[in-house]
Amino acid sequence: MNAELRACDTTQSLGDGATRLIAAPAIVLEHLSFARGEQMVLDDLNAVLAADDFVVLVGPNGAGKSTLLHLILGLLTPTGGGVTLLGGAPAATRAAVGYVPQHGRFDRRFPIDVGGMVLQGRQPPGWHPGWRPTAADQAAVDEALTRCGIAKLSRRRLGALSGGEMQRALIARALAGKPRLLLLDEPTASIDPAGQEALYTLLGELNRQMPLLVVSHDLSLISRQARRVWCLNRRLHVHPALELTAETLASLYGFPVRAVDHRSDHAEAV
């Protein structure tokens, strides 16, 4: 099934519904547009994130990446076209998305430990007066911590974590909610090489169970794990990850991009 799905990657369009009936796509963008006043931020985006996909979303600053994430999650309303998230309207289905924000934006002095933060991933929607986590919630937390390899850090305060550990804790919080899709924002940014390496492996493992959409500038992530790359700069171009060339990226960013190959430990300009 996977081979079949991947075989049609290069010719992917909304018309190939026949092969996709096997498993419903996680995200479908149809003629999605978003304008802020006169300014067109996103212009007629069309793409499908398949049920087993690993998509990396790239694009220069100001290309509309955050806007697209907010549209996918239903925090913004499209000015044209639409988004289908996990088979429904984003506002109704987004609770099933495991969202992993950038690790750098947290106040490290906040009085909370890793276990406490991951437990917040079990928070039910709505008011629920008197709700307290149950043993089942705690079990889901322990499972998520183990899966992310940070079971030992459960009692550690957030402020004492490294960037890589914090990123794992945020992924664990998303996993605790038993998501059907993971959405990560710059997971490998400002993390040391060893931490990045471990994250690539973890993301690859997670992709065996669920689709991933990762916003990233990290070319290693694209070459290692991604199946498809969404190149965004007001308009969206979908590339199979293996075919993504330096020229494509350079034209997207408007300047030559430096690719870093961690495997050979050599940096080469492309």
Partner 1 sequence: MSFLAALLQQTFLQHAVAASLLAALACGVVGVLVVLRRIAFLAGGIAHGALAGMGAAYLLGWPPLPGAIAAALAMAVLLWRLTTRQRHDEEVLIAAMWSVGMAAGLIMIARSAGENPDLMSYLFGNILMVGRDQLLWMAGLDLLTLGIVAAFYPAIATTVFDEEYARLRGLPVEAIRLLLLLLVALTVVLLIQVVGLILVIALLTLPAAAALSSRSMLAMMWRAALIAGAACLGGLWLAYAQDWPAGASMVLLTAAVYLVASLRRR
Residue 128 or 263 having the CB closest to partner 1: 128
Residue 147 or 173 having the CB closest to partner 1: 173
Residue 15 or 129 having the CB closest to partner 1: 129
Task: Write down the least CB distance from residue 164 to partner 1, Å.
Answer: 19
Residue 167 to residues 86, 138, 184, 208, 235: CA-CA distances in angstroms? 25, 20, 10, 20, 29
Within 13 Å, how many C-alpha atoms sit on residue 85's CB side? 27
* DSSP-H helix ranges across the chain: 2-7, 17-20, 65-72, 90-93, 114-119, 135-147, 163-176, 193-206, 219-224, 246-253
Task: Kindly state the DSSP code that residue 227 receives in the 8-state scheme.
Answer: S
Task: Write down the least CB distance from residue 13 to partner 1, Å.
Answer: 30
Residue 15 or 125 having the CB closest to partner 1: 125
Residue 80 or 101 having the CB closest to partner 1: 101
Residue 29 or 97 having the CB closest to partner 1: 97
Task: Write down the least CB distance from residue 140 to partner 1, Å.
Answer: 14
Task: Write down the least CB distance from residue 110 to partner 1, Å.
Answer: 6
Give the SS3 label for residue 103.
helix
| Terminal-to-terminal C-alpha distance of the chain | 35
DSSP string, 112-136: -BHHHHHHGGGPPSS--TT----HH
Kindly calculate the radius of gyration of the chain based on its CA atoms and give it in whole angstroms: 19
Task: Write down the least CB distance from residue 196 to partner 1, Å.
Answer: 23
Catalog residues that contact partner 1 under the rule CB under 8 A: 73, 75, 94-95, 97, 99, 101, 106, 109-113, 116-117, 120-121, 123-133, 155, 157, 173, 177
Task: Write down the least CB distance from residue 50 to partner 1, Å.
Answer: 22
